């Protein structure tokens, strides 16, 4: 899939009809199809009304525009997910516009290259705040709404880096992605009796604009060669696409996954099962 390919390989259905999906990190950090943008489109294709929230309004609006081109309903919102006051204002706006929130997908995340010696306390705190503390903020604001409504679905997005070492020192990122998994497990246990399901998607190596941007800024090698090298790491011989994460998110949000709670779905082409 090219950087600017917006073709939609997901079928239109009504699995999420009548539901409102709030997707955090709904935009793309560079031109192309991100997991957040693909999730907005996939859920809208399944009938959900989409609240697309991103740190940058322009990124959120791009996702909304793609949803609307396909006949879906979506509104863009801007907020720093690690800032409680900003998120409270955004959630209030979503409820004012749509009346409810049935699906929460927590997709945003940042990283920092380096092990213990290279990771400053400032970088550690920044990654922790955006990747983990933001889930606490969203939970405080949105779970009470779901409880009042009688149910909902929370979907965390982690990474195989939170389960195993992938050959690069990304200490802060890896630790926080492990924390995402446990955080969502605990939500599932506490809120299951109130009709709320909480699960985590664990992507492997996914070909996103963010990955390409980071590769081009940190390596002297040709970016295409780096992409080919990442493809070879995966038993299936290729990186995954954002659509392959978005369709799993849509499944988890739907009644098709009504008895799936407190677990993780690894979407990695077999990567995590490799010995080396």
Q: Measure the CA–CA gap between 34 and 47, rounded to whole angstroms.
A: 20
DSSP 8-state class, residue 265: E
At residue 40's C-alpha, the angle toward residues 273 and 100, to 5°, is: 115
Catalytic (active site) residue 259: no
- Give the 3-state secondary structure percentages of the chain, helix then strand then coil, rounded to 5: 50, 15, 35
Selecting among 165, 173, 191, 275, the annotated active-site residue is: 173
DSSP annotation of 170 reads B
How, if at all, do strands 103-106 and 264-267 pair? unpaired
CA distance 69 to 73: 10
Helices (H), the chain: 35-45, 57-69, 84-98, 121-128, 134-149, 171-191, 209-218, 223-233, 242-253
Is 95 exposed, middle or buried (CB count within 10 Å of its CB: 0-12, 13-18, 19+)?
Answer: middle
Q: Which residues does the annotation mark as catalytic?
A: 173
């Amino acid at each position: 899939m090219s950087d600017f390919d917006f073709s939609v390989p997901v079928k239109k259905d009504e699995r999420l009809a009548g539901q409102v999906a709030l997707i955090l990190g709904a935009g793309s950090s560079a031109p192309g199809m991100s997991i957040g943008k693909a999730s907005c489109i996939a859920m809208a294709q399944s009938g959900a009304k989409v609240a697309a929230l991103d740190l940058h309004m322009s990124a959120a609006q791009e996702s909304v525009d793609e949803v609307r081109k396909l006949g879906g309903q979506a509104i863009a919102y801007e907020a720093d997910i690690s800032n409680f006051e900003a998120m409270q204002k955004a959630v209030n706006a979503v409820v004012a516009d749509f009346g409810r929130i049935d699906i929460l997908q927590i997709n945003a995340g940042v990283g920092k290259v380096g092990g213990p010696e290279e990771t400053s306390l400032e970088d550690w705190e920044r990654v922790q705040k955006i990747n983990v503390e933001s889930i606490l903020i969203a939970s405080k604001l949105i779970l009470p709404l779901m409880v009042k409504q009688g149910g909902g679905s929370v979907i965390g997005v982690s990474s195989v880096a939170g389960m195993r070492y992938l050959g690069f020192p990304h200490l802060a990122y890896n630790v926080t992605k492990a924390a995402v998994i446990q955080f969502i497990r605990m939500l599932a246990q506490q809120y299951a009796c109130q009709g709320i399901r909480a699960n985590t998607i664990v992507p492997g190596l996914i070909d996103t604009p963010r990955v390409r941007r980071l590769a081009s800024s940190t390596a002297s090698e040709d970016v295409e060669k780096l992409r080919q090298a990442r493809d070879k790491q995966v038993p299936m011989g290729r990186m995954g696409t954002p659509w392959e994460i978005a369709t799993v998110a849509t499944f988890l949000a739907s009644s098709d996954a009504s008895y799936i709670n407190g677990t993780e779905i690894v979407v990695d082409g077999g990567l995590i099962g490799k010995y080396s």
